Amino acid sequence: MARPRWQLATVRAEGRWLRRWDRFVAVWASLNLLLVAFDLTYLPLRRFWLQRNLYPIPSLPLAVPLDWIPDLTPWLDPIKGIEPHQETQAYLDQFDRLDRQLRQQALPGRPLPAPLAPALAGQARSTAELIASNGFAASGNTASLETVKQRLRQRAGTASAQEAAALLLSPAWISRQGWQQERRFWQEQVLPLVAANYWRSSDANGRPTDHFWLLDLLCFQSVFLVDILLRVVRLKRRLPGLRWRDALLRRWIDLPLLLPFWRWLRLLPVLERLHTSGLVSIEPLRAVISRAVVALLALELFEVLALQLLDGAQGLVRSRDWPERFRRLRSHQSVPLLEQEEQELVALVRLWGPLLLARIAPSLAPDLQNLLSYALSRSLDRSVVPQPLRGLQPLLRVENGVSRQLAAGMVDSLMELSRSTGTQLARRDDVQLELLQRLVDRFWEELAAALEQGPVLQRSQELVCALLEQLKTTYLSQISRSGIEALIEELDELVTAQPATGQSGGQSGSPSVAREAAGPAIPPA
């Protein structure tokens, strides 16, 4: 019965909806992967996101400001449980107050007013306490504190960081150097390192606070769960005999999308979804990874397989059951292949006999006739015709004619016998079948008896095992990794030399639907 047009439209609409859904999930998973990467690198790069300065040369305090990047720390710090460190924040606030006082009261080229001396002394004491307390250890910024000490010592030219802080914040130093120049040093090389320090809270289990899992669960993992269930349902509809457990196991590559840990493993399912949705082709990447894996493992794998095959062949050759195995090939012990209980070898003889004798052999009659005629003429020329008469042309023509006639007669007789034999073999004849079976059984019985009585079996086993042993010691030792790489390059040349074949178009629906039965697309290549 013809399918109505409205039902076809419904199927195509469903295919388009599934394709759009797959692409949406692929884009959503890619966005989640970017957020996961950002979350994993936020703490190590928090100083960059806080100050938005790029240091191209690590050994020099040369900063490239990136003010066009928005400050994300006010939104991301609460997710990570990050709060301003009390000591460092108090130190920064105290320095801001001192900076305002110096800019208002300190005049270039004049001594500092007396009321500023206590403020400078207090700031020096706070700097010494900050250095001595090591409040950077909790946030893992001890290296920043060491950098602050080094820069203070280099600026003041002293061996102690505390002495350097007291000297740099003394009224005599500021009067001589000027506050604007000193302020630039503190604002660019010291205070940014101090501001990078923070305090992070802990949860009830004693681990650092991290609320990213809640955002991941509500916005992403819920969508991933729906998509995985939808894919399992589509796979179950495609393969009704597949159990639900097996259908879920076939989507093993989606497991990292639901794990709250090891989130970097989501790269594999994201690549698989981008590839199956048709947004990105990862075939070049898969080919490169596959080539690297093959180059690393092909030599060891081939050596193990070849050695296992050769050892198995040696064990099979050394077996003492060869006579018994030959006897098992007899007709009354063989497994029938045809419905009429014809045996293997008899069926092959009845199949190939007419083909060779009735079809192929007669087509070779002219060539056989020419070959036999030439052989007969050479034989007659050497044995029948005397040497003085070999120069007579009429005699040679008679000789050639006789040779052709004899060859034609022999070939015709042989071809007639071949046709009749092939025709007879092609017919169903119980007597003929019985004779063939008796001949085959007699052959296997005589072969088994001969192997049991003489030394042929033992000597043959020794020779074949020695040959296999020599093959293991010579051929396997000559295999090298360079040879494997040469084979891979040759395979690449053969693949690239093949003409590109057109792909059939017009397929509707998502490509991932066509791959559901085969499981995930990556193996993780």
Tens of pLDDT, residues 117-167: 888 888 889 888 888 887 787 777 788 888 888 889 988 888 888 889 888
Q: What CA–CA distance (Å, rounded) separates 114 from 157?
A: 26
User: How much is the CA Rg of the chain, to the nearest whole Å?
Assistant: 45
For the stretch 66-79, pLDDT in tens is: 888 888 888 888 88
Q: Are strands 53-54 and 198-200 parallel, antiparallel or unpaired?
A: unpaired
Residue 28: pLDDT band by 50, 70, 90 thresholds? very high
List pLDDT tens digits, range 437-489.
Answer: 777 777 777 777 777 776 777 777 777 777 777 777 766 666 655 566 676 77
Q: 7: pLDDT confidence band, cut at 50, 70 and 90?
A: very low
Give the DSSP H or E segment for 200: strand 198-200
SS3 271: helix
Q: How many secondary structure helices (H) and strands (E) does the chain include? A: 24, 4
- Angle subtended by helix axes 161-168 and 142-156, to nearest 10: 60
Which band of pLDDT confidence, cut at 50, 70 and 90, is reported for residue 99?
A: confident
Confidence of residue 228 (pLDDT cuts 50, 70, 90): very high
Is the pLDDT assigned to residue 416 strictly greater than 80? Answer: no
What separation in angstroms does the CA of 378 have from each of 309, 351, 382, 412? Answer: 52, 38, 6, 21
Residue 227: what pLDDT?
92
DSSP 35-95: HHHHHHHHTTTHHHHHH-EE-SSTTS---EE-TTS---HHHHHHHHTEEE-HHHHHHHHHH
What percent of the chain stands above pLDDT 70? 68
pLDDT of amino acid 484: 66
What's the pLDDT at 58?
67
Q: What is the mean pLDDT of residues 12-32?
A: 84
Cα angle: 376, vertex 378, 382; to 5 degrees: 115
CA-wise closest residue to 456 among 323, 313, 314, 312: 323
Query: The tokens 């007879």 sit on which residue?
Result: 424
* β-bridge pairing 82-84 and 198-200: antiparallel
500 pLDDT band, cuts 50/70/90, is very low
Confidence at residue 224, expressed as pLDDT on a 0 to 100 scale:
93
Mean pLDDT of 314-326: 71
pLDDT recorded at residue 61: 67
Please tell me the predicted confidence (pLDDT) of residue 342: 45
Residue type, 460: S
Query: What is the structure's pLDDT at 34?
Result: 94
Highest mean pLDDT: which range of 237-246, 391-400, 442-451: 237-246
Whole-angstrom distance, CA of residue 397 vs CA of residue 403: 10
Q: Residue 33 above 90 pLDDT?
A: yes
User: Using CA atoms, how far apart are residues 328 and 344, in angstroms rounded to an integer?
Assistant: 12
Task: Spell out the domain ranges in the chain.
Answer: 82-200, 333-453
